[in-house]
Each structure stands twice: as C-alpha cells, then as structure tokens.
Structure 1
Amino acid sequence: LLVGPDAQDIDNRFDVSTATDRLEYIKFKGSHSIKDINFRENIRTFAGIRAESDRGDFIVEESSVKGFFDIAGIKSPGLSAAPAITLAAIDLLKTSGANLSLKDNFITPRKHTLFMHLSAEEKAKKIAEDDRFGRMICRCEMITEGEIVEAIHRPVKATTMDAVKRRCRPGSGRCQGGFCGPRVQEIIARELNKDIKDVILDKANSYILTEELKK
C-alpha cells in the first residue's frame, strides 16, 4: 500500500530520508480521501528529490551554449507530458540546425515475459522451452528465475539488486526481499560471472556481503 505523497522544500540535495511527523501528516490527509485506510499494509516508505525551477514552469529550450538544450524543472505532470516534451525537443533540434533522420533499425519496446499473466498452456510451453521459468524465486510477486535472467541480459544489463527489482519486481512484495534476495544475488553473480560479494544493492559501496563468518 502506498499513501501520499507530501512535498517539502529542502536544501540538502542528497537527503532522501523520511520523518515520522511527515508520515503522520500523510496519514491524516490520506484519511480525508479514504476512510479506514489500513496503514498496517504500508510496509515501506520512500522519498525522492527533484530540482525545482525558479520560473514556476518546465524549462524546455536551447541554452546560451548553442547545441546544449535544457529539459529541466519537470514536475509531476512530466510523466503524462513526456511525449509532448519529446516532440518539442525535436522541434528545438530542427530549429537549431541539427540534421535529423529516422532510424531504419529503431527498436520498438522490447518484449519481456510476465509469467504470472500467462495462461496455463502458455506457462507450460514457456517452461518446456526454458525450465528456469518453472522455478519460482520471488513468492510474494510470483517472479520466476527465467524472468530475472531475462532482465539481467537485456541490451542495457541489470547488474545490481535494485536494477533487477525495477525491471521485474523481485523484492517488491510483502517480505521486501527477505526470502528471494539471496537467490537473486546468486543469480546475478552466476549470470554475470561475478563474485557474489561484488553484487551490490544499487549505488557504489552499497555492498551486501563482505566475507563469510563461518566455514
């Protein structure tokens, strides 16, 4: 369950902490919209940071440096505005003199397997083709080993725990990776031929394992 968000102006661009008073504020406001929210179903809290434009609007323009374009200050409506922003950016490139041509080998959205949404017949066929789809790794989200391997080997490889989580959701369920985390780490290490201690959570130095305590 996700409830929120709120928003605060802060000066520290690295501060992604959450605070009890703000969570209580979100509960208070959320209950105005939906009564009797079961906040016990909220198992994790998140915070993010975005740059705020001093213009009160999106910045979509060529900068004072020719050929450098600012697409910045994009707030929440940016998700739905993204296609229009893209077209505006293309127009800016054309106006600036860029030589644009359509790619003959453009890759349309890449397909990936959503095993839990397949029919029984489709699941059986997929497992017959690759038995890794018959091994359930994340029981909360019903994610198979085959889906994780697919995510790791996409053209832009998923090489960290959080990268795999964002691609196909293992660790997003009730246990938050308590059950599947070690197995996902093993799969990443195996598929990328890495030492398991070199498989990190997300950013540099976000190590998970350092050494064995017992032999």
Structure 2
Amino acid sequence: MRQLVRSAPAALPAELRAPLALTAALATAVLVALGILHFHDSGLTGIDAAVLPPIDGVRPPWRYVALVFDFGGEPLGSTILVALIAAVCFLVHRIRSAVLTVLGVVATVVVTTVLKPITGRTIHGEFLSYPSGHTALATALALVIALLLADRLGLGRAVAMGLVLGLALIAGLAMGWAEVALGAHYPTDALGGFCAALAVVPGTAWLVDRFADRG
C-alpha cells in the first residue's frame, strides 16, 4: 500500500503549487478579515443587508433544490459524497487524491468548526454562523475533483487554474445560495466558508504529497 501511495500521481500538480499557494494566502486574508469584521456581530449590514432580503426564505420549488444541496453538507450526505469521490479516485489509481478527499474535507471542517465559536457570530439569535461549514465542504470537494481533472487532462497552468477556481466557485455559489436561501447563514458566512476551503485544501494536498514522497 505504501508503494502504491508513493508511486501515485501527485494530489497537487506541480504547476499549480505556486498559484494555489498565492490563492490560499489571499483566501486566508479574506477569511480572517471577515471574521474580524463580524466578530460577535450578528447585525444585518453591508453585503448581507443588500443580498439577504431577496434570497432568504425562498419558496418551492427552489426551496426543495436548496434542501438537496443542504443535505450534501449534512453528516450523512457529506459522508456519502466523500466516500463516493474517494472510491472513484481509488478506482482510477489516484490514491493520493483519495487521501486528499478525506483529509481535505476533515481539515476544512475542523477549521470552520474552530472558527465559529472564536468569531462568535450568530444567526437567529443562537446559531453560530461564521464561516459556513456547508459551503466550505462543497468547495473542498470541488477543489479535489478539479485538481484531479486538471492533472488527468494535462492542462496548462492557466487553463488548469481556471478549471480549479471555476469549479470551486460553482460549488461554493450553489451551496452558499442554498444556505442563505434556507436562512441558515448570511452571505458573508458563505464567502468565509468558500475562502476556508481555498485556504486549507491546497496546503493539505501539498502535505499529502510531501509525506507520500518521503514514505
């Protein structure tokens, strides 16, 4: 098994290490800045005030769509998604990507879980909301898939970055919309979750490759 991991293709393509490191640094800065801006502040201001009223409380049939997305971020739904993606990675002999699927999601969820009580932002008076764990999880899974596709398709750096950031943005927007539409999060909570995944997953992928190469 160790030999399989060591000989497997990288979880983080070499040509994407530098640009994704920069992206992770910028995402970390935004994540921290938003956390400071909304530290123990649950008021509806700024971007949230402009975006939330038209979206919050969406009605059927769009509410059902939002609930489907939301299920993907719940414990059962996320476990199914992680298991499926990791299994596909394993079947196509991308062992490191399979490991990243699990560790990337776990690390991202840990970061959002730790940040919530530190930031202390609440919605509906009692539920910790910043950053959105659902949005972070969806973005993390999209990043894993995008990294795998970029490497398998042999894309150049610019196109690969476009694919990675594009899929991450689509996943983040979809889940972020669902969470805001269901009244579970503010828009900036979703942005924070998106940034959390961008900050965590590339570094986790680098660590997976580093330990695999040393093994």
TM-score by length of 1: 0.24
| Greater helix share, structure number | 2
TM-score by length of 2: 0.24
| Greater strand share, structure number | 1
